[in-house]
Amino acid sequence: MKLNELSPAAGSTKNRTRIGRGVGSGKGKTGGRGVKGQKARSGVAVNGFEGGQMPIYMRLPKRGFTPRGQKTMAWINLGRLAKAVEAGKLDASNVTEESLVAAGVVSHARDGVRLLAKGEAPKNLNITVTGASKAAIEAVAKAGGKVTVTGAAKDTAAE
**Would you kindly state where each structural domain of the chain is located, as residue ranges?**
74-149
Which residue type sits at 112?
G
CA proximity to 134, closest of 156, 111, 150, 119: 156
- Strand residues in 46-103 grouped as ranges (E): 74-77
- For residue range 29-47, what is the model confidence (pLDDT) as tens digits? 999 999 998 889 988 888 8
Residues 6+ apart with CB under 8 A from 60: none
Q: What is the pLDDT of residues 100-148, one digit of tens each?
A: 899 888 998 889 999 999 988 888 889 999 999 999 999 999 989 899 9
pTM of the complete model: 0.55
Q: What is the DSSP string of 9-35?
A: PTTS--PPP--SS-GGGSS-TTTTS-S
- The arrangement of secondary structure in 74-149, i.e. its CATH architecture, is Ribosomal Protein L15; Chain: K; domain 2 (3.100)
DSSP 127: E
Q: How far apart are CA 121 and CA 147, in angstroms?
A: 11
Q: What is the pLDDT of residue 77?
A: 93
Q: State pLDDT tens for residues 71-91.
A: 889 999 999 998 988 888 888
Give the separation between CA 122 and CA 147, rounded to whole angstroms.
12
